[in-house]
Amino acid sequence: QVQLEESGGGSVQAGGSLRLSCAASGYKSGDYCMGWFRQAPGKEREGVAAVVISGGRPRYADSVKGRFTISPDKDKNTLYLQMNSLKPEDTAVYYCASSPLPRCSSGSWSRPYYTYWGQGTHVTVSS
């Protein structure tokens, strides 16, 4: 059974930085797509970034390009999301997700692409 556990959320002022971590356990060897999603109050969950665990070209939502960096550590089965220049509109619960598929295709922006989800970590950005 695959399990995902996020950490690193918190409260920061606008312009600040946070780094989220997602530790994955229960995976066998091989490659798989992992992503970060977020859900703000009253809004639908949206994809933020995605990358295969072995590395490669990441995908980013337009709203976070140039500010967020997704990076995997295959040896540790851990996914990171470095968030810089945070804005109040980045306030949300951030979720880590994992797919059994070995690629992050265009479908990796949609929730059904992923099988496993973490419990989420809160990020609050104040102005």
Closest by Cα among 27, 39, 64 to 49: 64
Helix (H, G, I), strand (E, B) or coil at 3: strand
Helix (H, G, I), strand (E, B) or coil at 125: strand
Helix (H, G, I), strand (E, B) or coil at 14: coil
pLDDT surpasses 90 at 45:
yes
pLDDT surpasses 80 at 37:
yes
Instruction: Report which residue type is found at 84.
Output: N
Q: What is the pLDDT of residue 56?
A: 85
pLDDT tens for residues 67-112? 999 999 988 989 999 999 999 999 999 999 999 899 999 888 899 9
Q: How far apart are CA 66 and CA 53, in angstroms?
A: 21
Q: How far apart are CA 83 and CA 68, in angstroms?
A: 5
pLDDT tens for residues 15-34? 999 999 999 988 767 889 99
* Sign of the torsion angle spanned by Cα atoms 68, 74, 75, 78: positive
Backbone angles phi, psi at 108, to 5 degrees: -70, -5
Q: What is the pLDDT of residue 4?
A: 96
Q: Label residues 69-94 b or e (16+ Cβ within 10 Å = b).
A: bbebeeeebbbbbebeebeeebbbbb
